[in-house]
Amino acid sequence: MTLHCAIYCTVIDNFGDVGVCWRLARQLADEYHVQVTLWIDDLVSFSKLAPSLNSNLNEQVLDQITVCLWHKDKRDELSPTHQTTLDIIIEGFGCRLPDFVLYKMAQQAKTGKPPLWLNLEYLSAESWAVDCHAMPSIHPQTGLTQYFWFPSFNEKSGGLLREADLIKRRNEFQHNAEAHQEFWSMLKITNAHLFERKISLFSYENKEIHNLLEALAADSQKTLLLVPDGKALVDVSAWSKQSLKQGDYLTKDTLTIVVLPFLSHENYDRLLWSCDLNFVRGEDSVIRAQWAGQPFIWHIYPQDENAHLIKLQAFIDIVATANMNTSWQTMMLAWNTPNHAHSWSKALSHLADWKIMSREWQTYLTTQQSLTTKLMQFYQLKHSLSDE
């Protein structure tokens, strides 16, 4: 029997939300043959992640997924995609389902089985996220049960998104010189092999970028810094005293900066696999950096009253139990905390140790089931219980 799933997603101010929902939708379709409809309120932003998407079409099929524009200011109940009986409904990051969808779910419950309703929450390493994972909540108007799904780094949590063949594809790419050459050629970087060190920089605005670039330019090793077009480019441009844009090259002493286009998921993975150190931001890219098995520094999404630093410390504490190098912990805090004592020059000398420990951490995470596997097992459990 083919299962039908609807995923609702709001694009807030970055790409993490839609990036996670897009990966989840594709994995459900690819590995479990679920028919997925992805409702997104901003197709223009989404098209940066999915270049083949036509942002002018309100409904289209892309990579087996039915992608629909979510009009929040009007009712979409006449759309054929809303007439299908649903088995799973996923509310991405508390985006709140439309009232008529709740009504349809309630009507479905009266005539048959209600869909499994999940609220996919943000990634958190805090212990309460594991404690609250899969907790039910009864909707006051409809009586429907919603379950809270918390991704995290513990086997008892909701898991992390990981395609079944991801590590295999990464290993094949990293051991294939021709694949590397094709990737750099695609990015129009023909001299990548001349650099002793490659670093990717995907970050929010960050004053610490200036100190990093100063250290790289003064370092004895030649560094290729790859900056996808985005928020970090403001600080990179300020350091360079030039208004940098996509396609620009800039060399200062031993540092060469290349501004990349915004990359698709597949090409961003290859970038992470190709670099000796990856600076990542938010949720989606930090998870992909961990699967890359390469050293990484995470710029966690800033929150009011420094609430994000509590979440960051919880993550650092978990990774530290895997004997992560203390210099990595120091630099994680420096990247996210103004005036934190540090030295990028000293930190860069530890990259070899960081790599060993990053690969050990990735191996540990890979022993756990993926988020999608856990989700489908949860559906089967609830489905079987409803048959009793």
Query: What would the pLDDT profile of 134-174 be if each residue is shown by its tens digit?
Result: 999 999 988 999 999 999 999 999 999 999 999 999 999 99
3.30.460, 3.30.70, 2.30.30, 3.40.50: CATH of 4-160+369-383:
3.40.50
CA nearest 365: which of 310, 279, 293? 293
Q: Which of 17, 219, 276, 284 is catalytic?
A: 17
What dihedral angle (degrees, nearest 10) is formed by the CA atoms of 335, 338, 344, 348? -20
166-366 folds as Rossmann fold (3.40.50)
Tokens of 171: 């290993």
Token code pair at residue 351: 């990259």
Cβ neighbours of 194 (radius 10 Å): 9
Would you kindly state where each structural domain of the chain is located, as residue ranges? 4-160+369-383, 166-366
Structure-block tokens of residue 344:
């990028």
Distance CA 254, CA 268 (A): 25
Average pLDDT rounded to a whole number, residues 336-343: 83
| Catalytic residue flag (residue 283) | yes
Q: Which of 113-117, 126-130, 198-202 has the highest mean pLDDT?
A: 198-202
Q: Do domains 4-160+369-383 and 166-366 have the same CATH topology?
A: yes
Specify the range with the lowest mean pLDDT, choosing from 195-209, 244-258, 357-371, 374-388.
374-388
Q: Cβ(375)–Cβ(149) under 8 Å?
A: yes
Of the residues 87, 121, 283, 284, only one is catalytic, namely 283
Judge whether 131 counts as a catalytic residue. no
Average pLDDT over residues 90-111: 89
Question: pLDDT at residue 182 above 90?
Answer: yes
Share of the chain above pLDDT 70, in %: 94
CA dihedral 18, 23, 27, 30 (to 10 degrees): 90
Helix (H) or strand (E) holding 104: helix 99-111
Contact between 121 and 157 under an 8 Å Cβ cutoff? The reply is: no
* Residue 214 parent element (H or E): helix 208-218
- What per-residue confidence (pLDDT) applies to 326? 84
**Calpha distance 121→77 (Å, rounded):** 26
| pLDDT tens per residue, range 198-246 | 999 999 999 999 999 999 999 999 999 999 998 999 999 999 999 999 9
